[in-house]
Structure 1
């Protein structure tokens, strides 16, 4: 079937996007308000976008009543945030922090989550997360009902237990046991099922090869 996204309602576009672009990694974002209130919330419109500079992008939709989410407001106000990745053992706590709570509610306390101080930004990182990226706001792109945050990673934290060889930056990725979002409102996937394929050999133009033989 064909779907015209230029005429389709926003909720219907969302339904098609989230039921087909799967699995999606989860950015468990910790922020501080300009008044110092801690906030944590998960977002699955997220991924890494480059290395020079190291960029991550997060899509933050507005609340159902059109209000900007606390995470978006905090990032715009302070220019700082931390992306914590979500291991399977933290799934329930992550889910709890997705609650639509008032701005003065500390979701980290609500979910009984310990934190660790960051090195370069004010928001703390979530202790149970084996990987966390401290970020500074690079580019905000605002739309009437959502904010696209492009952040520059300025510090990475990777737990010693999942490092195979720190000198060579080899990470035991399966040991992190991250989860991702699937279709529907509450369906998730784990990363314990993988397969491997060798990359193709460098391309060789057969015409050029033939000319070289002549």
Structure 2
């Protein structure tokens, strides 16, 4: 089949998120100007540079995570391990502004080293970020898409040493959770390696 997204797909459910998958989950902790805390998972999250180490997450409108990140200029992207998946899902609740999702999901907070928002206790890794840019992408027609993209430079990295094996972060042991389409998630259970080819001139 072939379809144009602007004209509909005729399927029971939108396949777009199932096609662009798996997507790593950025479990974003942030703090507002008034000190209110927020914790929410974002599957529109990824890294796009290593030097400098830059990451981004996209919010559907100015939700608390984007608003608080704008107010404080900081956020933490927590990695979701398989053992925290259910609690992560609880923090996706559409709670009123100001509700502390750490408390709602029964999670403990750990102070960050270089930013004000705390990280989630028990995560395999967490990225402490300073906001570098916030923008609203436009549609092909030049209209506001409604999305708010928050980019940040990673200024500090926490790694639970239990997940370091021979000096490398073991994503299978951590069970990195990612978002698929519909109501589905996946956790890393195996990996395979391939070396990048090098161009050899004749």
Q: Deviations over 1:150-170 (max 9, x none)?
A: 11000000001112245xxx2
C-alpha distance in 2 between matches for 1:15 and 1:153: 33
Residue 189 (structure 2) aligned to one of 174, 189, 192: 192
Q: Check whether the contact 2:127–2:156 (CA below 8 A) recurs between aligned residues.
A: yes
- Deviation, 1:198, is 3.5
Q: Check whether the contact 2:172–2:190 (CA below 8 A) recurs between aligned residues.
A: no
C-alpha distance in 2 between matches for 1:142 and 1:46: 15
**Residue in 2 that maps onto 1:69:** 63
C-alpha distance in 1 between matches for 2:18 and 2:103: 32
C-alpha distance in 1 between matches for 2:23 and 2:123: 17
SS at match of 2:136: strand
1:132 and 2:126 matched: yes
C-alpha distance in 1 between matches for 2:192 and 2:84: 25
Q: Deviations over 1:14-53 (max 9, x none)?
A: 9343010111100000011111111100000111111121
**Residue in 1 that maps onto 2:31:** 32
Structure 2: gaps of 5 or more residues = 138-143
Q: Note closer, same or farther for the CA distance 1:203–1:45 as it changes in structure 2 (3 Å cut).
A: same
**Residue in 2 that maps onto 1:94:** 88
C-alpha distance in 1 between matches for 2:92 and 2:123: 16
C-alpha distance in 2 between matches for 1:155 and 1:87: 19
- Deviation, 1:172, is 2.2
1:161 and 2:168 matched: no
1:4 and 2:1 matched: no
Flag as ranges the 4+ runs of structure 1 deviating above 6 A.
none
C-alpha distance in 2 between matches for 1:141 and 1:132: 24
**Residue in 1 that maps onto 2:181:** 183
C-alpha distance in 2 between matches for 1:8 and 1:135: 39
Q: Check whether the contact 2:171–2:188 (CA below 8 A) recurs between aligned residues.
A: no
Question: Highest Rg: 1 or 2?
Answer: 1
1:104 and 2:98 matched: yes
SS at match of 2:57: strand
How many residue pairs match? The answer is 192
**Residue in 2 that maps onto 1:152:** 153
Higher relative contact order (CA 8 A, sep 6+): 2
**TM-score, normalised relative to structure 2:** 0.88
